[in-house]
Structures are given as structure tokens and as C-alpha cells.
């Protein structure tokens, strides 16, 4: 099966329906994982994996699980560390989150930014802190979820697949915790660090790295730092938060000081960095999949999320999903099959007749149908492209009734084959941990970074080094290199 992965969408934490808890957030009070939390977490877990590139397997995952359990058990949410499910996500986005039920997540991209095990523990501890303080069940959050759910499409009834496409809008929303909640999570994370024997100042240094990365990302994108949709910027003002975390860490008077830098660096050596070409790449409004040789562009103002089975597109005017199905060479039949799958057990979706055209030389078949939702009727359009004798891809687009393809006209026209050259130009990058030699400088090491611009800035940010850093022979640093 093709894997479509690598979201460019940064989320702080995803919506899960845990609105049955009391409205008041009870900070600092850990409550054990309830049976209902456990059940909801188990239900959301596979969906989260699908939306964030799946789990990144191997020794890095085992290491994250071990560190995550050690810090999570400090929350008092469970007596046994084995009750926590810690996942390293195969995502090129800097992100971490946790959901009730003992599920904690961090992306490999964020892990690569860290410089030791205590920083990893600090991020996981912060996220567990949100869950322990039950921030996810506060009034603020519940009402926001409600607002998203009753948005354009509402909750679709009687049609699980369309409900799934429509429901992505609800799932993909970024939860913004209040500043108070962020500080509470910081404080809990710092407390957990000290309790687990880690240097509690790791929270502060991690936040500083995040702030530096956010600033660099903004420079790379030519944007103002405050608009960067990153883990760091959705949290309170980075500089004051760094200082505050440092003060709180000092106030713990903890004697624990474990950083475990060597163990951490040896764990991440060789880990994939940035986009995973085998799963397709989201870059702004464009999607490219070098293995499948397919690319397209979504309208501006629309957000793309690259899941393991489909690319989801969401925006004000509708939702779409790009994926594939079994193809026997007959495109109209393919379109009919997609509609039959969409209708599922609920019967059928009446459609107009299947029409044919060509887009960028590709044979195309498409049709539009009408489906009922709780908040009214919607148009459902299937647009299928033949890429080979037994290969086809398609969009499913859901728009308000009467709109048809609606805002997605340019998107359906943008689907094209990638040339061999375009596909070959996309190479995976990896983390390479190297030992500083005599005569090495930040500039000489940065020259080895697999980028054409901002090499030194990227190197300094990745290693949490100041601009005037002096390196010591024997010291270990991270580089980002092309796969050898």
C-alpha cells in the first residue's frame, strides 16, 4: 500500500471528544486514567498515526518509549509506566501532543532539534502535564470543538466515509491552550523532570531551541516570526517563557542533573530528517510524491495534511481528499466504485453521468452526486486520473449543495506526472552525529549541511549554539546530510 505521509500542518494537540468531564480545569491535580479516557485514546490513536505519518520505527522509537514512560509516570496518571503509549511520529513537522488515555506523541523532526535526553523528557512531560491538568476538558476547548464540528459541513449522518472526510476539518483544528494552561503544563513538566532524576533546566533549554527554530523558519519562509505555525509560537511569548522555565527549574532546588546527551545523540544518529520522499511531500500549496510520480497544487487558503492513506485538503469552501483505489483500466467504473465505497452500507449516492476529459495529458473521468448530512445536503464529486494501465488516483471533494467542484477547479486541473528528473531531485536527509576534530569550526562543519542556504544558521540552531560558538575537539554535534 502506498503511504502518504508527512504533514506540513503543525498542531499543538488534536481534538478528541473528551467533553464529558467537569468543565473546570483542575490544574496540578493528576487524575488516574479512567476507563473512558482509555477507550477514547485507543480509538483516536490509529487516526492520529494516520494523520501524522505513522510511527517511526526502530531503535529511536524504543528509546522514545523508554524515556516517555519514565517521565509520564511522574504525572501520577498511572502507577505503572507501561500504561503509557509513547509514539515517535514519522513527521517532518515540529510537534508534540498528548491525549487522555496515556497516549503521548513527539515527531522525529522535533526530536532532531533536541540535544539530550532531558530535553526529550521535558517535551513529553509538558504534554503529559496538559493531560494531567485536564486542560483538554476545559470549557474553552469543548466549545471550540463544537464550533468546528458545526462548521461548513456539520456532522454527516448515515455515511461514514463522507463523515470521515468532513470530520477531518474537526480533527485538524489546532488547539490553542491559554497562556495560563501553558505555564501550568511547563511547571508540571519541570516537576516531572526533577522527579524522574533529569535536570529540570532542560525545559528552559528546549524552549530556547524551539524559539530559535521558529525564528529561523520564519526567516526561511520570509515571514514574520509571530505568524509561524509552529509548536513554539502557539505557546506563550518564547523569550519570557524560556526565562520563566529557568526560574522555576532553579526553584525546584533539585539535585538531579541527568542530561544523558551521549545516549541521546547516539540514539538519533542516522534518523530521517525533514520530508520522507517515500511518503510524499507537502510544500506550501504543492504536493509531490516522487515514488508515485504524482503532483498537484491546492488553492491558497486551503490546508493540506498528508496522511498514510490519503492527502486531506480543508478550507472554508469545502474539503477534499486525494487517494487511490484498485483500477482495472476502466475509469468510469473506477468513479462508480469510489461512489459505492463512499455510500457504504447507507445505500447509494445519486450522481449525474460520468464525464470524461483530459488534464495535462492524463485521461480523466468525473461525476458529482448529492448526499445528506445533518446540517443539510452536500455535493460530492469524484475526479479520477489514469496514471497507468493499472494505476489511477482520485479526488473526492465535498462542497455545499449546488457548488459542485466549487473552489477546487484549479486543484483538479493541476494534477500532473512528475518527471524522472523532478523525482530524482528529491533526496532524503538524515541526522549525522559527528565528532568535532582539530581545526573544525561551526563554519567548516556547517558547510557539510545538506542545504543550499542558511547552512551556518541551520547548524547553530540544530545544536543550540550561539553565533560566536567555539567548538572543542572531541565534542559531538549534529549535522543534516543527504543519505549516503
What is the β-pairing status of strands 318-324 and 311-315?
Answer: antiparallel
Q: How many whole angstroms separate alpha carbon 257 and alpha carbon 122?
A: 13
Q: How many whole angstroms separate alpha carbon 72 and alpha carbon 93?
A: 23
**Closest to Zn ion by CB, 105 or 273:** 105
Shortest distance, CB of residue 232 to Zn ion, whole angstroms? 10
Q: How many whole angstroms separate alpha carbon 191 and alpha carbon 254?
A: 9
**Closest to Zn ion by CB, 238 or 307:** 238
Of the candidate spans 73-81, 143-151, 177-185, 341-349, the one that interacts with Zn ion by CB under 5 A turns out to be 177-185
Given CA atoms 284, 290, 292, 295 in this order, what sign does their dihedral have?
positive
Q: How many whole angstroms separate alpha carbon 208 and alpha carbon 216?
A: 12
Binding to Zn ion in span 133-152, by CB under 5 A: none
Of the candidate spans 178-186, 260-268, 331-339, 425-433, the one that interacts with Zn ion by CB under 5 A turns out to be 178-186
Beta sheet of 476-482, edge-to-edge order:
272-273, 429-435, 476-482
**Closest to Zn ion by CB, 185 or 338:** 185
Q: How many CB atoms lie within 10 A of CB 315?
A: 18
Shortest distance, CB of residue 245 to Zn ion, whole angstroms? 12
Binding to Zn ion in span 104-133, by CB under 5 A: none
User: Who contacts 71 (Cβ-Cβ below 8 Å, separation ≥6)?
Assistant: 121, 124, 125, 128, 192, 193, 196, 198
Q: What is the dihedral of CA 450, 455, 460, 462, to 10 degrees?
A: -30
Of the candidate spans 52-60, 93-101, 174-182, 271-279, the one that interacts with Zn ion by CB under 5 A turns out to be 174-182
**Closest to Zn ion by CB, 235 or 289:** 235
- Binding-site residue total for Zn ion (CB under 5 A)? 2
Name the closest residue to Zn ion (Cβ).
185
Of the candidate spans 89-97, 183-191, 290-298, 354-362, the one that interacts with Zn ion by CB under 5 A turns out to be 183-191
Shortest distance, CB of residue 186 to Zn ion, whole angstroms? 8
Shortest distance, CB of residue 128 to Zn ion, whole angstroms? 11
**Closest to Zn ion by CB, 133 or 254:** 133
- Per the structure block, which three cell numbers stand in for 484? 549516503
Shortest distance, CB of residue 177 to Zn ion, whole angstroms? 5
Given CA atoms 12, 17, 18, 19 in this order, what sign does their dihedral have?
positive
Shortest distance, CB of residue 87 to Zn ion, whole angstroms? 17
**Closest to Zn ion by CB, 11 or 216:** 11
Over the window 185 to 204, marking each residue x when it contacts Zn ion by CB under 5 A and - when it does not, the resulting string is: x-------------------
**Closest to Zn ion by CB, 98 or 418:** 98
Shortest distance, CB of residue 471 to Zn ion, whole angstroms? 33
**Closest to Zn ion by CB, 117 or 182:** 182
Estimate the crossing angle of helix 179-195 against helix 202-221, to 10 degrees: 130
Shortest distance, CB of residue 126 to Zn ion, whole angstroms? 6
Where along the sequence are the contacts to Zn ion (CB under 5 A)? 182, 185
Amino acid at each position: 500500500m502506498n503511504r502518504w505521509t508527512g504533514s506540513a500542518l503543525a498542531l499543538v494537540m488534536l481534538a478528541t471528544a473528551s467533553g464529558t468531564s467537569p468543565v473546570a480545569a483542575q490544574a496540578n491535580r493528576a487524575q488516574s486514567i479512567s476507563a473512558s479516557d482509555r477507550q477514547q485514546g485507543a480509538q483516536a490513536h490509529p487516526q492520529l498515526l494516520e494523520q501524522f505519518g505513522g510511527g517511526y520505527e526502530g531503535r529511536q522509537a524504543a528509546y522514545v518509549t523508554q524515556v516517555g514512560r519514565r517521565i509520564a509516570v511522574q504525572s501520577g496518571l498511572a502507577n505503572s509506566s507501561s500504561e503509557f503509549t509513547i509514539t515517535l511520529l514519522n513527521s517532518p513537522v515540529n510537534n508534540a501532543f498528548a491525549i487522555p488515555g496515556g497516549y503521548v506523541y513527539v515527531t522525529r523532526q522535533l526530536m532532531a532539534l533536541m540535544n539530550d535526553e532531558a530535553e526529550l523528557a521535558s517535551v513529553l512531560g509538558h504534554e503529559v502535564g496538559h493531560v494531567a491538568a485536564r486542560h483538554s476538558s476545559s470549557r474553552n476547548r469543548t466549545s471550540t470543538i463544537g464550533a468546528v464540528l458545526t462548521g461548513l459541513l456539520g456532522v454527516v449522518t448515515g455515511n461514514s466515509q463522507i463523515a470521515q472526510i468532513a470530520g477531518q476539518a474537526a480533527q485538524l483544528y489546532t488547539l490553542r491552550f491559554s497562556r495560563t494552561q501553558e505555564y501550568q503544563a511547563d511547571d508540571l513538566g519541570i516537576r516531572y523532570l526533577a522527579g524522574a532524576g533529569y535536570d529540570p533546566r532542560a525545559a528552559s533549554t528546549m524552549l530556547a531551541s524551539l524559539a530559535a527554530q521558529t525564528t529561523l523558519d520564519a526567516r526561511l519562509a520570509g515571514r514574520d516570526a509571530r505568524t509561524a505555525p509552529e509548536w513554539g509560537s502557539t505557546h506563550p511569548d518564547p523569550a519570557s517563557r524560556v526565562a520563566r522555565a529557568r526560574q522555576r527549574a532553579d526553584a525546584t532546588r533539585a539535585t538531579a542533573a541527568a542530561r544523558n546527551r551521549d545516549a541521546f545523540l547516539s540514539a538519533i544518529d542516522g534518523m530521517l530528517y525533514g520530508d520522507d520522499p517515500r511518503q510524499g511531500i507537502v510544500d506550501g500549496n504543492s504536493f509531490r510524491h516522487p515514488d508515485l510520480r504524482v503532483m498537484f497544487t491546492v488553492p491558497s487558503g486551503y490546508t493540506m495534511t498528508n496522511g498514510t492513506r490519503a492527502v486531506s485538503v480543508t478550507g472554508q469552501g469545502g474539503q477534499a481528499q486525494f487517494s487511490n483505489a484498485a483500477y482495472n483500466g476502466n475509469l468510469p467504473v473506477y468513479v462508480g466504485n469510489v461512489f459505492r465505497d463512499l455510500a457504504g452500507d447507507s445505500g447509494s449516492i445519486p450522481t449525474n453521468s460520468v464525464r470524461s476529459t483530459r488534464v495535462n495529458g492524463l485521461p480523466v473521468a468525473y461525476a458529482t452526486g448529492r448526499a445528506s448530512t445533518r446540517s443539510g445536503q452536500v455535493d460530492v464529486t469524484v475526479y479520477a486520473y489514469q496514471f497507468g494501465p493499472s494505476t489511477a488516483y482520485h479526488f473526492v471533494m465535498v462542497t455545499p449543495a449546488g457548488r459542485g467542484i466549487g473552489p477546487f477547479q484549479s486543484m483538479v486541473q493541476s494534477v500532473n506526472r512528475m518527471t524522472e528528473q523532478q523525482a530524482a531531485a528529491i533526496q532524503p536527509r538524515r541526522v549525522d552525529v559527528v565528532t568535532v576534530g582539530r581545526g573544525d569550526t561551526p563554519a567548516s562543519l556547517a558547510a557539510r549541511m545538506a542545504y543550499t542556504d542558511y547552512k551556518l544558521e541551520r547548524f547553530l540552531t540544530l545544536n543550540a549554539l550561539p553565533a560566536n560558538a567555539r567548538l572543542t575537539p572531541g565534542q559531538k554535534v549534529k549535522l543534516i546530510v543527504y543519505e549516503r
